[in-house]
Amino acid sequence: MSESEKIPVAILGSTGMVGQRFLSLLDDHPRFRVTQVLASSRSAGMRYAEATRWGLPTEMPAWARDLVVGDANALPDEGRVRLAFSALDASVAREVEATYAEAGIFVVSNASAYRMDPEVPLVVPEVNADHLDLVRSQRFGQGGIVCNPNCSTIGLVLALAPLHRAFGVEEVAVTTLQAASGAGYPGVPSLDLIDNVVPFISGEEEKLALEPAKILGTLEGDARGIAAAQIVVSPQCFRVPVIDGHTLSVSVRLAGDPGRDEVLRAWQDAAQAVPLRYTSAADRPQPRLDRDFSGGMGITIGRLRPCPVLGFRFVALSHNTVRGAAGGAIATAEAVLARGLLQGGSEGR
């Protein structure tokens, strides 16, 4: 496909940790072409290379350097883009994303503002792409909003979905060890995090308690709502001095009392369609060794063993800014295209 045939996209919050991942992952994307970068009024008017403190080990894409950063709070230029990926600070996402959607733009968001809105699909594409059909009856005119879940939720749901399909998940206790990059830049002050573990991430436990049941829920008959799964989640969230990669220590009660081999088989079967691997190494997964599995889009699970309280326990790990943010949102946008929701702008709806 030539560059001019690709779908023009905007990145809202392009200068932040997740925004940079978007630019990097969309470099040479077969269907999407970044034509607009937006951020706060602090960055607006500057060249992208000047406005951004690039923090990735790969080079800033050459085409991005001279793009002039727009103000995300200004009205979108009509007809300039059909899709916007949002990596906006949560404090401004609600208003800006609605403005974009009402201007006929399809927004795929990493921010939490609309995740639990009953009209908005909360999507992990390998798990619940069918929920995208909710967009057809959304209130946002010709545009739409689809949300990417919280980065810890995504890892948890990728591990639980095969078990939920095979047996039914009833109760979950999860302790997260979350990387510093999850807090954006500059994030937690170094003197608070080095040589330390912080047992609180504002709002995180509430999101982990609610989001999995929506994602693992069922699209109701007329595609106008989601019946949440009957799953109870008890989360405890910790910030740890790791750069990238969220580790989850999970205990789970499954219906039907399956054996260990059956649980392993459920994950093995899922691995045909999801970048999921089980490691039998006693000391894995580890962030440094496992976060880049499958280009950062994979989940690594290990240490499956009996739990005397809930039945089974295991450890799961995924990359928070790739699988848990920009990479996950791009995969969702690809699913949006595949379902015909974005073809030819409004005609696809």
Ligand X SMILES: N[C@@H](CC(=O)OP(=O)(O)O)C(=O)O
Q: Which of 144, 138, 98, 116 is nearest to 208 (CA)?
A: 116
Q: Which of 90, 91, 19 is nearest to 48 (CA)?
A: 19
Check residue 188 for interaction with ligand X (CB under 6 A). no
Q: Residue 204 in 3-state DSSP?
A: helix
Binder of residue 39, out of ligand X, ligand NDP, none (CB less than 5 to 8 A by kind): ligand NDP
Q: How far apart are CA 98 and CA 107, in angstroms?
A: 9
**8, 35, 60, 92: residue in contact with ligand NDP (rule CB under 6 A):** 92
Distance of CA 313 to the CA centre of its chain: 24
**51, 64, 87, 151: residue in contact with ligand X (rule CB under 6 A):** 151
What is the nearest approach in angstroms of ligand X to the Cβ of residue 187?
A: 8
Name the residues annotated as catalytic: 151, 246
Binding track, positions 53-92, relative to ligand X; x by CB under 6 A: -------------------------------------x--
- Name the one residue in this structure whose structure tokens are 């050459």: 62
What is the nearest approach in angstroms of ligand NDP to the Cβ of residue 14?
A: 6
CB 255 within 8 A of CB 326: no
Stretch that binds ligand NDP, among 16-24, 137-145, 298-306, 309-317 (CB under 6 A): 16-24
What is the nearest approach in angstroms of ligand NDP to the Cβ of residue 259?
A: 35
Stretch that binds ligand X, among 53-61, 106-114, 269-277, 299-307 (CB under 6 A): 106-114
Residue closer to ligand X by CB (options 208, 263) is 208
Listing from the earlier edge strand, what are the strands of the sheet with 144-147?
70-71, 32-39, 7-12, 83-86, 106-109, 144-147
Residue closer to ligand X by CB (options 43, 110) is 110
Task: Name residues contacting ligand NDP, limited to 100-119 (CB under 6 A).
Answer: 110-112
Helices (runs of H) and strands (runs of E) counted in the chain: 11, 14
Q: How many residues lie near ligand NDP (CB under 6 A)?
A: 31
Stretch that binds ligand NDP, among 84-92, 222-230, 268-276, 290-298 (CB under 6 A): 84-92
Q: How far apart are CA 319 and CA 107, in angstroms?
A: 22
Check residue 150 for interaction with ligand X (CB under 6 A). yes
- Name the one residue in this structure whose structure tokens are 């949102």: 329
CB 301 within 8 A of CB 286: no
Q: What DSSP string describes 91-125?
A: HHHHHHHHHHHHTT-EEEE-SSTTTT-TTS-B--H
Check residue 166 for interaction with ligand NDP (CB under 6 A). no
Contact positions vs ligand NDP (CB under 6 A): 13-19, 39-40, 42-43, 72-73, 87-90, 92-93, 110-112, 151, 181-182, 184-185, 320-321, 324-325
